[in-house]
Amino acid sequence: MKEYRTIAGTGEAYYEIQKSKFYTYTAHVEDEAAAREFVQGIKKKHFDARHNCSAWVLGPDSSLQKSNDDGEPGGTAGNPILEAIKQQGLTNTVVVVTRYFGGIKLGAGGLIRAYNHSAAIGLEASSKVELKLFRRIRATVDYPMLATIENWIRNQGLRTGETEYTDKVTVNILTAAADTDDTARELTNLTAARCQLEIGDEEYIEVPI
């Protein structure tokens, strides 16, 4: 498993050059089917546009990448959009740039710059999150020890889940996967080994950027 960056939700932007109008739409998607559905939705929205060019990058390792020029000269639209996604280090992201031709030809170089810029400003306008790897540590202690653990958690700036109250109390702590051993060791030392620890599997948690 690998940590990665993506956008949260959807975003929009507008850019105009030489009377050509570019409308950019971005979205977070988890798979290719969702990416295709988003692209088709924009095409329906802008059914009167000659070009709805798109690209997406998918997977924690960004291994699935695709672009579409949608009628523009080969390599002048889809690939510049794809490069904008990659330049910002994003994945699980789809971008559609709709163009309304303004009557003035931009040339291949102009198209490449326009589509790349349109995608870039659309992504810049989108909220972003980082998917970081965490592990959940369930620390079960007697009630007199709870205040000590809660104070330690605050001082460490750790994330927590819901606390469970039974005959003992269980605190759910989220720690960065790489820090799991150190966190568990500190908890053991803090409680003089009077703490029962259960360590869960790695899981992704969204962290705003």
The mean pLDDT of 111-130, rounded to a whole number, is 97
Between 87 and 206, name the one with better pLDDT.
87
**Domains contained in the chain, number:** 2
* Final residue belonging to a domain, choices 126, 160, 181: 126
In this structure, are 170 and 146 located in the same domain?
A: yes
The mean pLDDT of 111-132, rounded to a whole number, is 97
In angstroms, the CA 43 to CA 52 distance is 6
Paired tokens of 118: 């349109």
pLDDT at 1 over 90: no
* Final residue belonging to a domain, choices 63, 91, 126: 126
In this structure, are 154 and 83 located in the same domain?
A: no
36: CATH? 3.30.230.30
In this structure, are 20 and 122 located in the same domain?
A: yes
pLDDT interval class at 208 (50, 70, 90): confident
> For residue 46, what pLDDT is reported?
98
> For residue 198, what pLDDT is reported?
97
Q: What does pLDDT average to over the chain?
A: 96
The mean pLDDT of 128-132, rounded to a whole number, is 95
The mean pLDDT of 175-195, rounded to a whole number, is 95
In this structure, are 20 and 102 located in the same domain?
A: yes
In this structure, are 153 and 66 located in the same domain?
A: no
The mean pLDDT of 20-37, rounded to a whole number, is 97
The closest of 56, 63, 59 to 25, measured between CA atoms, is 56
* Domain range for 73: 4-126
Of how many residues is the chain composed?
A: 209
* Final residue belonging to a domain, choices 94, 126, 158: 126
Q: What percent of the chain has pLDDT over 90?
A: 96
pLDDT interval class at 2 (50, 70, 90): confident
Residue 206 vs residues 106, 124, 128, 193: alpha-carbon distances, Å? 40, 18, 10, 32
Which residues 6+ apart lie within 8 Å of 177 measured at CB? 133, 134, 135, 202
